[in-house]
Amino acid sequence: MAPKPLTLDGRTLEGGGQLLRLAVSLSALTYLPIYITSIRANRAPRRASQPAGGLKAAHLAAVEWLARASQADTTGMEKGSQKLEFKPLQGGEFVRETKKKNDVTGAGVWRDVYDVDGSRLVRRETEIELDSPGSVCLILQAILPYLLFHSPDAAGSSAGTSRGVQGTTGSVPLRVTINGGTNVSKSPSIEYISQVLIPMLVEKVGIPPITSQIIKRGWSSGRADVGAVQFDLTPLPSKSKLSEFNFTERGEVTRMHVSILASDSAARNTLKKIVIERLLARRPDVEMIFPIEEDTKNGARLYLLIVAETCNGYRLGRDWLWERKSNASMLETVANTVTKQLEEELQRGGCVDEYMQDQLVVFQALAEGRSVVYSGKDMYATLHTKTARWVTEQLLGLTFDERGTCDGCGFEVGEDFLARRKTERDVEESAEELERLEIA
């Protein structure tokens, strides 16, 4: 008998897109069916005549991809929907593209790429398309756990292993192209993803390497522009587990990475000069590098990201996307605000910034053992972090303590987690029944 879907109230805590993305991602990975009500109900509509929340195009793109990948039966998978039932096919095979592109139910998501003579599988490719600049990075956030932990077939041991991974069987490399916005308001930028999230996941959490390449920038400001980013990664080896990780000793800041995107060289040079002055005033011995200085080709596009790198390999970032015409006064405001906020973050002494905090929750939950993430003195869990913890607790049956420590479920790559949960429930029910009999 198919299990009854777990009902999740979409108004819980943050009550926005994060709850939806993480819940559907874990559902696809674990085969646990879910039913989400009041989707994004805490998000106010743009116009009073519109309903609150509901699925937007970017949410829908991620959900549709996960539905195809997990061969899920769905109800309510349409733009504006307030409810979604998502029931993955238990033990589904790794599906390739065999049907027409837009056929969601039962269609595959992967295209196999072979070497020149066709004898060796080089990688698998997939593409997620948006016709608006919805956030590429939030779509990646939704599908990344599935990409990394769902590996039902491997291609020998040539892919090797990474620190933090228990197991030796290699997996087929994946190439994921996501069309949408690279620099979008109220969303992480591709610079933050490539300079903070990915290095932290690879170097500190221990997942296999991930690379990103901007094919074309996509902006939500100025004239709306749809871009594309290509991500290359290798899933965790089949039957392996991610080891626990401990973020407790940040170490001293040794380097600052400053990325500046502005519409002309004068604006970029002015912003760079102010940032250098502000950073050296607080940290005169810090090394500064400038990985990105780029023309945005539009006066209503201004972006600044500053990343602090420590001697122990941690990265903390602060940024600002300004979406209107800027003048000299605004350039100074942007520089002052970002440098001040980053310094305040660093003074707390934590190993992660407030925007990284919630993105690590799913990896704490899936890892084997107890993972600790220290966010700094007087730094409590953000609402996004509380929401992520709540979702993982509901689906995976674990708990986070008030310090953010979690004993992970020890998810084994490719395992039938639904069967495991059923066995655990049967054991719990048997123990409860035995206890009742003993009392009687």
Q: How many whole angstroms separate alpha carbon 335 and alpha carbon 312? A: 26
Q: Please report the DSSP string for 60-84 in residue order.
A: HHHHHHHHHHHT-EEES-STT-S-E
What percent of the chain has a predicted confidence (pLDDT) above 90? 72
Res. 328 pLDDT band, cuts 50 70 90? confident
Residue 327: the pLDDT is 83
CA 212 to chain centre: 14
Mean per-residue pLDDT, 278-295: 96
Q: How many whole angstroms separate alpha carbon 360 and alpha carbon 391? A: 13
The DSSP H or E segment spanning 392 is: helix 383-396
Task: Give the residue among 77, 108, 109, 86 at the shortest CA–CA distance from 27.
Answer: 86
Q: How many whole angstroms separate alpha carbon 305 and alpha carbon 66? A: 31
Residue 45: the pLDDT is 65
pTM for the whole structure: 0.88
The mean predicted confidence, pLDDT, of the chain is 88
Nearest-10 crossing angle of helices 17-30, 57-70: 10
Check if the beta carbon of residue 69 is closer than 8 Å to that of residue 144. no
The pLDDT tens digits of the residues spanning 151-203 come to 755 333 333 344 454 443 468 999 999 999 999 999 999 999 999 999 999 99
Q: How many whole angstroms separate alpha carbon 339 and alpha carbon 274? A: 10
Mean per-residue pLDDT, 257-267: 95
